[in-house]
């Protein structure tokens, strides 16, 4: 894991169209489009505004104030090098340096993780930061709300922990797997303590089947599901959104009664149904490629 701290202005890259300025000669009418990229100007003349009455060597000074900067520091100076009809500008050279940013100094702490599961811990509460999961660049961007010029770019990180909250973004991995099993087993809002315990177990090597077994073996689960019929009714309802009919429930109850399946194996299979994982936001529904939890993450209490 490596950490890089960058202090400086955030580049403001923009294009300014139809800008003009003061000339040293008698020419008029020339208008330019200026693109600024990290302080470097790229200037073109508009084909319908080549101007008239210019002479070789004339300069046209576009003030830096028209280009997101200050004058004269960020002026863009156009020097006429060839003429067209009626003193129009045919070619030109330029000189000038644009403003890189808006003058605000930002501090970016860039932390690169590993190929495994990486967690970054903040010794402060969650409300003091905004957290954005940048799926495109595979980074969690965290910005201080107390000092918005300070931000963290957590590359190849899956989890962030605050003093009052932890959030996991390994939606297609451990955190998502545990979330689906708990959602299928208990329904409703996933208990963040249970989520943290499940994450700890899977991080240590426990399989999905093992997590499912731990759930069905727990006292709270057995209390809510004292027999096979209740188990099938509750899990089916959690996963499908409606209670099963007797005909729908019978095959599952029979499998449990005859020992051809266990509660853990049925729970594990139900939690990994694609339609269920779409419903709970782990998987995207076309045309989306990812589920809504990829943005919000999954909250948990570290065990």
Strands 119-121, 159-161: pairing kind: parallel
How many other CB atoms are there within 10 angstroms of residue 35's CB atom?
16
The answer to whether 180 and 276 have CB atoms below 8 angstroms apart is yes
User: Is 143 among the domain residues?
Assistant: yes
How many other CB atoms are there within 10 angstroms of residue 7's CB atom?
11
Q: How many domains does the chain have?
A: 3
d(CA 79, CA 55) in angstroms, rounded, equals 10
The answer to whether 87 and 29 have CB atoms below 8 angstroms apart is no
From first to last of the 303 residues of the chain, give the pLDDT tens digit.
787 776 777 778 899 999 999 999 999 999 999 999 989 999 999 999 999 999 999 999 999 999 999 999 999 999 999 999 999 999 999 999 999 877 677 898 999 999 999 999 999 999 999 999 999 989 999 999 998 889 999 999 999 999 999 999 999 999 999 999 999 999 999 999 999 999 999 999 999 999 999 999 999 999 999 999 999 999 999 999 999 999 999 999 999 999 999 999 999 999 999 999 999 999 998 888 899 999 999 999 999
C-alpha distances (whole Å) from 10 to each of 3, 37, 43, 138, 150 are 19, 11, 22, 20, 12
Give, rounded to a whole angstrom, the gap between the first and last alpha carbons of the chain.
Answer: 23
d(CA 34, CA 143) in angstroms, rounded, equals 32
* Residues ≥6 apart with Cβ < 8 Å to 106: 7, 8, 9, 10, 149, 150, 151
Number of H helices and E strands in the chain, helices first, is 9, 16
pTM over 0.85: no
The answer to whether 144 and 151 have CB atoms below 8 angstroms apart is yes
User: Is 271 among the domain residues?
Assistant: yes
User: Is 185 among the domain residues?
Assistant: yes
User: Is 3 among the domain residues?
Assistant: no
Parent domain of 238 = 174-300
| Residue 15 sits in the same domain as residue 86 | yes
User: Is 107 among the domain residues?
Assistant: no
User: Domain end: 95, 121, 150, which one?
Assistant: 95
User: Is 105 among the domain residues?
Assistant: no
């Amino acid at each position: 894991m490596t950490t890089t701290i960058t202090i400086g202005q955030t580049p403001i890259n923009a294009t300014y169209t139809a800008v003009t300025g003061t000339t040293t000669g008698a020419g008029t009418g020339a208008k330019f489009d200026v693109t600024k990229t990290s302080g470097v100007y790229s200037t073109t003349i508009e084909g319908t505004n080549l101007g008239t009455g210019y002479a070789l060597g004339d300069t046209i000074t576009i003030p830096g104030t028209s280009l997101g900067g200050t004058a004269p520091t960020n002026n863009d100076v156009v020097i006429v090098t060839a003429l067209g009809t009626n003193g129009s500008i045919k070619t030109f050279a330029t000189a000038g340096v644009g403003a890189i940013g808006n003058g605000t100094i930002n501090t970016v702490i860039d932390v690169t993780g590993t190929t495994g599961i990486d967690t970054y811990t903040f010794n402060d509460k969650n409300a003091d930061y905004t957290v954005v999961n940048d799926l495109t660049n595979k980074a969690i961007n965290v910005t201080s709300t107390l000092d918005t010029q300070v931000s963290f770019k957590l590359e190849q990180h899956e989890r962030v922990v605050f003093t009052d909250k932890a959030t996991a973004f390994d939606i297609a991995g451990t955190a998502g797997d545990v979330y689906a099993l708990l959602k299928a087993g208990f329904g409703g809002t996933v208990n963040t303590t249970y989520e943290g315990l499940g994450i700890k177990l899977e991080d240590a090597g426990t399989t999905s089947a093992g997590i499912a077994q731990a759930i069905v073996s727990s006292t709270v689960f057995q209390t809510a599901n004292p027999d096979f019929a209740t188990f099938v009714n509750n899990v089916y309802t959690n996963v499908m959104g409606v209670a099963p009919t007797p005909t729908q429930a019978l095959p599952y109850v029979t499998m449990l009664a005859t020992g051809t399946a266990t509660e853990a194996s049925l729970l594990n299979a139900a939690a990994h149904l694609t339609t269920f994982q779409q419903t709970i936001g782990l998987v995207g529904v076309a045309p989306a490629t990812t589920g809504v939890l990829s943005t919000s993450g999954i909250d948990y209490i570290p065990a």
